[in-house]
Amino acid sequence: MTEVLTAKPPATGGSTPADDRPAARSRRGWITALFLLPALVLLGALVVYPIGWTVVRSLFGAQGFTHFVGLSNYGSVFSDHQTLTAIKNNAIWVVVAPTIATGLGLIFAVMTERIRFATAFKLVIFMPMAISMLAAGIIFRLVYDQDPTKGVANAVAVGIHDTFSSASHYPGAHPRPINHQLTGPAAGPFTTPPLAVSSRPVNLPLVGATPDDLKGASQAAGPRSCPGGHLCGTVWMDFKPGGGTPNAIDPGEKGLSGLRVNLLSGTKVIAHATTSKDGTYTLPAPATSGPVRVQLAASNFTAPYAGVNWLGPTLVTWSIIGSYIWMWTGFAMVLIAAGLAGIPRELMEAARVDGANEWQVFRRITVPALAPVLGVVLVTLMINVLKVFDLVYIIAPGASQQSANVLALQLYLSSFGGGNNQGIGSALGLLLLVLVLPAMYVNIRRFRKENAR
Amino acid sequence: MKRTHTAAATLAAAALVMAATGCSSGGSASTSTGGGNAGGSDAAASLHLPNLKGQKIQVAAVWTGAEQKNFLKVTARFDQLTGASTTFVPTGDNVSTFLGSKIQGGGQPDVAFLPQPGVLQQFAKAGWLKPVDSTVKDQLAKNYTPGWRTLGAYKGTQYGVYYKAANKSLVWYNTAAWQQAGLSKAPASWADLLKDGQTLSDSGTTPFSIGGGDGWTLTDWFENIYLSQAGATKYDQLTKHQIKWTDTSVAKALTTLAQLFGKPTLMAGGARGALQTDFPTSVDQTFAKSPKAAMVFEGDFAATNIAQETTAKVGTDAKAFPFPAVGSGQAPVVSGGDVAVALKNTKGAQALLRYLASVDGAETGIKQGGFLSPNKAAPLSTYTNSVERTIAQNLISAGDGFRFDMSDQSPAAFGGTKGQGEWKDLQDFLAKPSDVAGAQRKLEADAAKAYANAG
C-alpha cells in the first residue's frame, strides 16, 4: 500500500492539473474501490451472501435444494402454533424487557449521582454484564428451582409465606384408603360417621406420616375407657416398620401429637381438643343429645407451601425476562449515566432556583434532556431482545420450553434441534430480519442526524 | 438416546476390580486371558481371526469416561488376538452428524457404533455401510436371536452387530424404604406395583420418583406399559406409525399410566415436582440420605448414577426388579443398545465385527462391568454381580419378546427432542393426566408431522 502511494505523486506532479482531472478522478475512484474492497468482500461474504442464500433456501423443503416448495414454508411458519407462541412471546419481550431495563437504568443512574460510593454501586449493577448469557442462564435455572432448598426465589417465597401461616404437623398423613372410621378429601379434613357418645374410645388411625415428622414421637397409648361423660380416643400412625396390623394400636406404633381434633354436631364445631404426646385426646361431653362426629381438621395436614412455579408454563417467560433485566440494567445505567454527565448543570440549578421540586426537575429537565440517550438504549436493547436465544434455551425446562419459545429458539429448533428443516428455519430467519429492520432504520437515522450536527 | 451413553455404565465397585484384571490380560500376550476362562480362549481360537499384524483399525463411538475405558479393554484383547492396533475416536453426542461429515470427507473410521436403529437405516440407505461378511454372519447366527439380528439389518442385508444392550424395563428401589414398609417381594403386576406404592405411601415414604423433566423417561414409562398391555404386534405398528396414536390401545395405556400420574401423593413432589426433576436427580433423590421416594423407574444405566452420585451401594442399598406385567400381558422388556457397523471394507473391520459378535468378545465386555450383552451364548455367570446378572437374565430370557425403545426408532423430531413431540406431549399428560383424549390428539398430530417430514 505505502509503495503505491509513494510511487504515485511524481506521476501526478509531472502533468498539469487541468488536463489530468478526469484521469485523477478515475484513479481516485480506483483507490477508493481498492480501500473499500476488503470491507465489501467481508460484508458480501459474511452478510449479503448468507442473507441471499437464506432467501433462496427458504423456498426449499427439508430435503434441500432438490425440493422446491415455493412460499409454503412461510405459510407453515404463520400457521404453526409453536411459531405463533414465539411471535407472541417476542412481542412481550420487546415491549417489557427494554422498557424495564431502561427504566431501572435511568433510576439507578440518577440516584447514583446523589450517593456516596456511587462507583461501587455502579460496579455491582454492571457486574452481571461480565457474565456470559450461558452462565447467567445456568445461574437463573438454579435461582428459579422449584425446591426451596436449592432455588433462592422459592426460598424467599416460602420463607415469606411460612412467616404468615405456619406449617402443619403432619403433611401428607391420611387414613388408609379403605377406612370405615375416617373419610374425607385427600388433604383432609377427615371425619368419622355419626356416633353415639359412650365410654368406648374413638380411635383414629392414620398412615403416611413421614419418618421425619415422627422423630421423637412416643408410643401410642390406647385407653380402654374414657372418663365419665367424656369423649376420648387416640390418633396414631397405624404403621410400623414392616406394616403392623391395620386399625390396631401395635407396640411400636407412634402417637400423633399436636393434632387438632374437632367435635361436630351437624357441621358446627362444638368443641375441640389437641392430641397429647401419646396421641390421646379428650373432648368434653357434648351438650346435645343427637349424634356427633369427630373430625381431624384439615389444618393438620396441609402440604407445605411449595413456592411459586417460576418455570411453569404461565410464568416462565416473565421469569426469563427477569434474568435478562438482571443482566442488562447495568448496561442501560452506564450509558444513561454517561448521558447524564453531559447535561448542563445550570438548567437543573435554574429550575431549582425557580422553585421546582426534585420530581419536577427529573420529569421536566432530566428526562427530556436525556431523551436521545434513552432512545439509543431502548433501540439497542430492542434489537438485542429480538434475537434472545441462550437465556430461553437454557432456563426453560423441557416441559415449558414451548411456552417460553421465542423466534430465535424456534429458528434453531426447526433447523437443527430435531425438526431438521432448514427451509422453515430460513423462513424464520428472514422473519427475524424483517422484524429487526425498523429498529435498525431508527438507529441509522439517528447516526445520520448526529453526523449532520 | 444420549442417556444410554452418557450413563457410562460402571455398575458397582466390582467393575473396578474386574477392570484391573482385564488390564493385566490385555497388557501382555503371555498371561492367561481375562479371568482365566478357558472356554473363552477356545471360543477365540475357533473364531479363526486373521493375523492383522501392523494393521491399524479405527473405531468410533459416543462413549466417554469409564465406558470408553472399558471398551478399550475389549479392543486391547482383540489386538492381542490378531496383532492389529486399534484406536478409539470419540464421536461426541451427535453421532450421525460426526460420522456423516467424516464419511463425506473420506476420513471415516473402520468401525463405528450407532446408537439408534434409525441411524443404521439412514446410513445404509445412503450406501455408507459395508455389509458384514459370512464369518460375521455365522457368529451372529450362533450367538444372537433373530430379533437382535434384524435390528442390525436393512432391507434384508446384515450390516450391524449389536454389541452393547440396555435393559429399560427395570424399577430400582431403595431397600431401606422397602423394608420400612414391610415389602419383600417384587410386584408381579401393575396392580401390585400400585398397591405396593400405596403401602409405601402409607409407611410415610413417597413411592415413585419420576424424572419428568426429561421427556424420555416418560416415553419409557409409556413404552413399557404399552408393550405389555397391547402386545408386541401393536407396539411394532405404533413404532412405524402404522396405527395412529388415537388408537384405543394407546388410550388404554395412557389411562393405565394415569393411575399413577393422576395421584400426586404417589410421586415425589407431585406432578409439578416431577416435571422439574431431571433423570439424574430422580435417581439421586431416591437413594439420598433421607430419600424423597422409594422407587425410580429406568434402565440398567441408572446404576451408574447410583454408584457415582449417591452413597448407596448397588446390590445392597439399591436393587432392581423387572417392570411388572400390565393387565393380562407379559412383563415387558424394552431395550436400547449400540450397533457396530463397518464403514470401510477392510479385513480388520470385518475381523473386529466378528470378534464383537463372538462369545469371547461379549465376555470380555461383560467382565469390565457396567455392560449388558445381547449375546445369548455368553454365560450369565460371567456377570460380576448379582444385580447385573439378573438384569442380563431378564433381557436374554425375553428371547425375541423384547422390543427396542420406540422413541429411539421414531423420527428425532417426534421421539428424541427436548420440548417437542412425544417428550413434550407426555410431559403435558403428566401435568394433566385426566385428559387422555387430548394427549392422544396431540401425540397423533406431532407424530403425523414428524413421520411425514422423515419420509
Supply the CATH number for residue A331's domain: 1.10.3720.10
pLDDT at A12: 44
Reported confidence tier of residue B38, pLDDT bands at 50, 70, 90: very low
Find out whether A209 and A170 touch, Cβ atoms under 8 Å. yes
Number of structural domains chain A divides into? 2
Q: What percent of chain B has pLDDT over 70?
A: 90
Do A322 and A274 share a domain, yes or no? no
Do residue B79 and residue B157 come from a single domain? yes
A421 to chain B, minimum CA–CA distance in Å?
A: 8
Q: Are residues A299 and A314 in the same domain?
A: no
Cβ contacts of B218 on chain A, cutoff 8 Å: none
Q: Is A398's Cβ below 8 Å from some Cβ in B?
A: yes
Considering only CB atoms, which chain B residues are within 8 Å of A402?
419-420, 424
B26 in a structural domain:
yes
Contact A243 B413 (CB under 8 A): no
Residues B10 and B126 in one domain: yes
Is residue B195 domain-resident? yes
Q: Tens digits of per-residue pLDDT, B75-112?
A: 999 999 999 999 999 987 777 778 877 887 788 999 99
Q: Which of A332, A264, A317, A319 is nearest to A294 (CA)?
A: A264
Residues B99 and B81 in one domain: yes
- Based on the domain organization, do B22 and B152 belong to the same domain? yes
Measured between beta carbons, the chain A residues lying within 8 angstroms of B265 are 172, 174, 186, 208
∠ Cα A244 A249 A251 (to 5°): 70
Domain containing B203 equals 170-332+410-454
Question: Do A278 and A242 share a structural domain?
Answer: yes
pLDDT of residue A20: 60
Q: Tell whether B280 and B142 lie within a shared domain.
A: no
Contact criterion met (CB below 8 Å) for A105 and A329: yes
Of the candidates B289, B164, B275, B170, the residue with the CA atom closest to the CA atom of residue B220: B170
Same domain for A221 and A327, yes or no, is: no
Q: Which whole number is the average pLDDT over B389-417?
A: 87
- Residue B319 located in a structural domain: yes
| CA distance linking residue A416 with residue A404, whole number of Å | 18
Q: Note whether B413 contacts A207, CB cutoff 8 Å.
A: no
pLDDT digits (tens, 9 = 90+) for B289-339: 889 999 999 988 888 888 888 899 888 899 999 999 998 888 999 999 999
Residue B148 pLDDT > 90, yes or no? Answer: yes
Q: What is the mean pLDDT of residues B229-244?
A: 94
B290 interface with A at CB cutoff 8 Å: yes
How many residues belong to chain A? Answer: 453
Together in a domain, B287 and B416 = yes
Q: Are B214 and A398 in contact (CB under 8 A)?
A: yes
> Which residue of chain A is at minimal alpha-carbon distance from B455?
A63
Query: Of A174, A242, A421, which is closest to B182 when you measure between CB atoms?
Result: A242
Residue in B199, B273, B421 nearest the CB of A146: B273
How near does any CA of chain A get to the CA of B102, in Å? 19
Q: Among A303, A320, A342, which residue terminates a domain?
A: A303
Contacts of B275 in chain A (CB under 8 A): 397, 399
Cβ–Cβ < 8 Å for B39, B33: no
Q: Is A52 domain-assigned? A: no
A-contacting residues of B 245-274, CB under 8 Å?
A: 265, 269-270, 272-273
Low-confidence ranges of chain A (pLDDT < 70): 1-20, 179-180, 288-289, 417-420, 453
The band of B59, judged by pLDDT with boundaries at 50, 70 and 90, is very high
CATH assignment of the domain containing B118: 3.40.190.10
Residue B25 has a pLDDT of 37
What pLDDT is attached to residue B314?
87
**Is the Cβ pair B419, A401 closer than 8 Å?**
yes
φ and ψ at residue A296, rounded to 5 degrees = -95, 115
Same domain, A274 and A319: no
A112 & A189 share domain: no
Chain B contact set for A397 (CB, 8 A): 213, 275-276
Which of A260, A278, A303 lies at the terminal end of a domain, its last residue?
A303
Q: Is residue A237 part of a domain?
A: yes
Last residue of a domain, one of B356, B376, B400: B400
Residue A208: which region, alpha, beta or left (left: phi > 0; alpha: psi -120 to 50)? left
Residues from chain A that touch B424, judged by Cβ atoms under 8 A, are 398-399, 401-402
Residues B296 and B230 in one domain: yes
Query: What pLDDT score was predicted for residue B21?
Result: 38
Phi/psi of residue B312, nearest 5 degrees:
-70, 145
As a whole number of angstroms, the distance between CA B81 and CA B83 comes to 6
Domain hosting A115: range is: 72-157+310-452
Q: Which of residues 21-40 of A touch B (CB under 8 A)?
A: none
Based on the domain organization, do A416 and A321 belong to the same domain? yes
Residue A231 and residue A137 in one domain: no
Verify that A379 and A420 share a domain, yes or no. Answer: yes
CB-based contacts of B281: which residues, under 8 Å, 6+ apart?
A: B211, B213
Per-residue cell: A152: 433462592
CB-CB: which of A174, A242, A398 is closest to B213? A398
DSSP secondary structure of B165-229 = EEE--EEEEEHHHHHHTT--S--SBHHHHHHHHHHHHHHTS--EE--TTSHHHHHHHHHHHHHHH
Shortest CA distance from B182: residue in chain A: A242
Give the chain B residue nearest A409 (alpha carbons).
B419
pLDDT of residue B37: 41
pLDDT of residue B40: 46
What pLDDT was estimated at residue B32?
37
Looking at the fold, whether B380 and B269 belong to one and the same domain comes out as no
User: In the prediction, which pLDDT does A147 show?
Assistant: 83
Residue from B418, B428, B446, B451 whose CB has the most chain A CBs within 10 Å, to mutate: B418
Residue A25 lies inside a defined structural domain of this protein: no
* A333 and A445 together in one domain: yes
| Domains of chain B: total | 2
Q: Quick check: B424 and A398 CB within 8 A? A: yes
Of A271, A303, A335, the residue that ends a domain is: A303
- Same domain, yes or no, for A320 and A297? no
B269 plus B376 within the same structural domain: no
Give the ipTM: 0.76
* A24 assigned to some structural domain: no
B340 domain residue, yes or no: yes
Residues B156 and B182 in one domain: no
* Helix, strand, or coil (residue B344): coil
CB contact under 8 A, B413 and A419: yes
- Closest-CA residue of B relative to A419 is B413
Residues 198-237 of B with CB under 8 A from A: 198-199, 201-205, 212-215
The reply to whether residue A186 touches residue B420, judged by beta carbons under 8 angstroms, is no
Q: What is the pLDDT of residue B386?
A: 85
Q: Is there a single domain that holds both residue B201 and residue B350?
A: no
Average pLDDT value over all residues in chain B: 85
Flag whether A35 is in a domain: no
| pLDDT at B15 (0 to 100) | 38
Whether B65 and B197 share a structural domain: no
pLDDT of B14 = 35
Residue A406 near chain B (CB below 8 Å): no
Asked if the Cβ–Cβ distance from B204 to A146 is below 8 Å, we say: no
H or E stretch at B88: strand B85-90
- Chain B contact set for A210 (CB, 8 A): 204-205
Residue B276 sits at the chain A interface (C-beta within 8 Å): yes
- By the CB < 8 Å criterion, does A420 face chain B? yes
Say if residue B5's pLDDT is above 50.
Answer: no
In a domain, B13, yes or no: yes
User: Does residue B405 form part of some domain?
Assistant: no
In-domain check, residue A364: yes
Identify whether residues A363 and A440 lie together within a single domain: yes
